[in-house]
Amino acid sequence: MGRSVIIWCLCSFLLFSLAVSVKAVRSPRSVPLSTLYNLSPGTSPRFPQGQAERLIKSLGLLPGAAVESSGPVNGPGLHERKIQLDIFTNSTSASASRHAAHYAGYFTLKRSHTANMFYTFFESRGNKGMDPLVLLMTGGPACASEVAMFYENGPFKIQDNIENLTLIWNKFGWDQEASIIYIDLPVGTGFSYSTNSGDIRHDAEGVSEDIFDFFQAFFTAHPEFAENDLYVMGESFGSHYVPAVAARLHEEKKLKQGLPINLKGFAIGSGLTHPNIRYESYADYALSMALIADDDHKRLSKVFPACATAIELCGTKGTVTCIAAYLVCQSIFNTILAISGNINSFDIRKECNEDICYDFSNLEIYLNQTKVREALGVGNQKFLSCSPLVYEAILMDWMESKENKIARLLEDGIQILVYAGEFDLICNWLGNSMWTAALPWSGQIEYARAPWKKFEVNGIEAGLVTGFKNLNFVKVQDAGHMVAMDQPRIALEMFRRWTRGIPLGNRIKLEY
């Protein structure tokens, strides 16, 4: 395909991306694809640099005010308290949990003006001295960690009673197997805050610096956990933070910078890790799940090279081209949504009837109660589940690939798990399995040849698993984007086996 044709496709796709939003425009299948794609070559062929520059300016995305030097820190910068939240339960797990300490606090960021990062820390319900320590990060981008904590894998769930919201124990909370840290990041999400707009992070590298500084303070305050195995985990856009954070912790340890951190592995759930492969996979996945027809797939396949070219330019030309690449490539995804109707892109079995396709309103109601804010020590700080401002700021990192960091960590023996639910469109299992197979590392050929095995839980097939050495991939059956919410027992068992070094393909009878 000639370069002029590719540039023309870029312009056509940009026009379409501005006309079709992820949620609002859901065109019926009867609409002609020529109308959907706007493939009439009537405009002069230009890469959408001007549009991208205007978007960047309007959103305030240029990181000119980013802070490099250390700001004032009060002591080690960590301010935490033990917390006791009201919990109603008859579960036998209650007695065991009384012996596990729970903390909440703020870390004053060193590389900031006035930023304070909120976190919660739950000691393991099991053996905290031997169980691993896990950092769990949420995606969005720009959504708070409490989404995962209360709806997926944390110690509690919010009781679904709007008149009297309270907590119940999560029977499948991952704190049964590990001590867990949840952090609201980047600053501006959840309870994390700053009074200076220059503290907003614009990429995963900035986040990784904050997390490295946090762990230096955390292990100073909690030296009893310093030698525990550490696992870094995240889902969705959290897959950008995870490799960056893991690489930062690992490299600083090799350079003997700060307290040594015992990074054992990291996991990516339903990730947005490799943009080129991700956008290429959309049409194939959508066709396999009957979301689009053969003709739709053929036309999308013809215009994908425009997206690939935009991603290539993003990797070499910087900010403006990365935003332009986002506009161009996202129209592939938006086109599938427009054709397929009112589906939930996070779980194609469901319809999308909310702004983010899930109703997390109870979360904000619960956490903004005065008694809860007092228990957490956040004062009058209002909880924000997802921040549009931070979303716009981090948008520049959307089209960045993290595969090089992942490959280097693989070579150094770091354990890596990638998993995805079979009904997730936006971070579909097909694209995630493709980029793991394409990783350039010494085990690439053997990984590609590795057989798929059944992933069974209590003798029932729960998915498929493949892997070689320290890289494993799991396709989770009957799950969407939020695997631990849709399949809590399966997710807990996957987590347990992986952090214990137990082969994921083993047949094991569970006691819970």
Question: For residues 218 and 108, is the Cβ–Cβ distance under 8 A?
Answer: no
Q: Which two tokens stand for residue 7?
A: 């540039």
Say if strands 102-108 and 116-122 run parallel, antiparallel, or are unpaired.
antiparallel
SS (H, E, C) 81-99: EECCCCECCCCCHHHHHCC
Name the CA radius of gyration of the chain, rounded: 23
Decide if 236 is catalytic: yes
Active-site annotation holder among 347, 424, 433, 486? 424
Rounded Cα distance, 191 and 382, in Å = 7
The SS3 call for residue 145 is coil
Q: Name 295's bridge partners.
A: none
Residue by residue, DSSP assigns 3-59 as: HHHHHHHHHHHHHHHHH--SSS----TTS-HHHHHT----S----THHHHHHHHHHH
Task: Compute the 3-state secondary structure of the chain and give helix, strand, coil in percent, each to the nearest 5.
Answer: 40, 20, 40
Decide if 481 is catalytic: yes
The SS3 call for residue 387 is coil
Place of tokens 């194939």: 284
Q: Which two tokens stand for residue 98?
A: 């009384």
Active-site annotation holder among 199, 297, 481, 486? 481
Rounded Cα distance, 122 and 156, in Å = 11
Residue by residue, DSSP assigns 339-382 as: HH-SEETTEEEEE--STTSS--HHHHHHHTSHHHHHHHT-TTPP
Buried b (16+ CB within 10 A) or exposed e, 330-364: bbbbbbbbbbbeebbbbbbeeebeeebbbebebbe
Residue type present at position 378: V
Say if strands 347-351 and 343-344 run parallel, antiparallel, or are unpaired.
antiparallel
Active-site annotation holder among 236, 270, 331, 340? 236
Rounded Cα distance, 158 and 209, in Å = 32
Q: Does 141 sit behind a cis peptide bond, omega within 30 degrees of 0 on the bond before it?
A: yes
Is 159 exposed, middle or buried (CB count within 10 Å of its CB: 0-12, 13-18, 19+)? middle
Rounded Cα distance, 71 and 108, in Å = 9
Cβ-based neighbour number of residue 407 at 10 Å: 18
Rounded Cα distance, 318 and 321, in Å = 6
Rounded Cα distance, 504 and 136, in Å = 21
Catalytic residues: 236, 424, 481
